[in-house]
Amino acid sequence: MPARQGQRAVPDDFRIVHLADVPEAIPILVRWFVEEWEPYYGPDGPGDAERDLTACCNRDELPVGLLALDGEGKVVGTAALKSESVETHRHLSPWLAALVVARDRRGERIGSVLVTAVEDEARRLGFDSLYVAEDSSSGIMPRQGWIPMKEGVPSLRDPMTIYRRDFSPRTP
């Protein structure tokens, strides 16, 4: 797949695009969501992965879905900027959510690139901070400069930690 105008170049031949540009990727992502968040998106869970992903096909309003594509145009990761995420913390917004990297491509910094891309989207859309909820199986956020603000938040999987990323300039 040729790079489109305005696409961000990222290391190692990956590039980040809006999910809205490649909606045909949704069935792959639905499979990943069910694998990763089975209690929520599995057949017995309350979630609907296809509905949530379709809702993320926006560019300039939330929710905004992003995809990481490899040099051959294959989908290798996804993440989203959403107005809400954790049910118990609806007063916080916006959120980095739905971060998943293809199981056979983990450890190649694709997740880190996606986190940075969602931060860039949040800044582009005028937000001065961003939140994420991460469970202990991931461990990626503290390495990216995010500050933990609440631990032990219950979820359908393991307890989560909520992290905050602040973009506003520091006061002296």
Ligand X SMILES: CC(C)(COP(=O)(O)OP(=O)(O)OC[C@H]1O[C@@H](n2cnc3c(N)ncnc32)[C@H](O)[C@@H]1OP(=O)(O)O)[C@@H](O)C(=O)NCCC(=O)NCCS
Q: Does 101 interact with ligand X (rule: CB under 6 A)?
A: yes
Token couple for 1: 């797949």
Extended beta strands in the chain, E state: 8-9, 15-18, 64-69, 75-82, 95-101, 129-135, 147-153, 160-166
Using CA atoms, how far apart are residues 58 and 155, in angstroms rounded to an integer?
27
Q: Shortest Cβ distance from residue 98 to ligand X (Å)?
A: 8
Which stretch in 6-14, 41-49, 102-110, 164-172 sits in contact with ligand X by CB under 6 A? Answer: 102-110
Tokens of 36: 């990763």
To ligand X, the closest distance from the beta carbon of 16 in angstroms equals 13
Site string for ligand X, 31-60 (x = CB under 6 A): -----x------------------------
Q: Which residue has the tokens 């057949």?
A: 43
What are the two backbone dihedrals, phi and then psi, of residue 66, each rounded to the nearest 5 degrees?
-120, 155
Q: Is 139 in the site for ligand X (CB under 6 A)?
A: yes
- Regarding 29 and contact with ligand X (CB under 6 A), the answer is no
Residue 158: which residues within 8 A CB-CB, separation 6 or more? 135, 136, 137
From CA 150, how far away is CA 128, in angstroms rounded? 19
Of 21, 52, 70, 108, the residue at the interface with ligand X (CB under 6 A) is 108
To the nearest whole angstrom, how small is the minimum distance from the Cβ of residue 11 to ligand X? Answer: 11
What lies within 8 Å, CB to CB, of 43 at 6+ separation is: none
Could you say which of 66, 75, 100, 162 contacts ligand X (CB under 6 A)? 100
**How many residues belong to the site for ligand X (CB under 6 A)?**
18
Contact call for residue 89 and ligand X (CB under 6 A): no
Whole-number minimum distance, CB 172 to ligand X, in Å? 30
Which positions touch ligand X (CB under 6 A)? 36, 99-101, 106-112, 132, 134, 137-140, 143
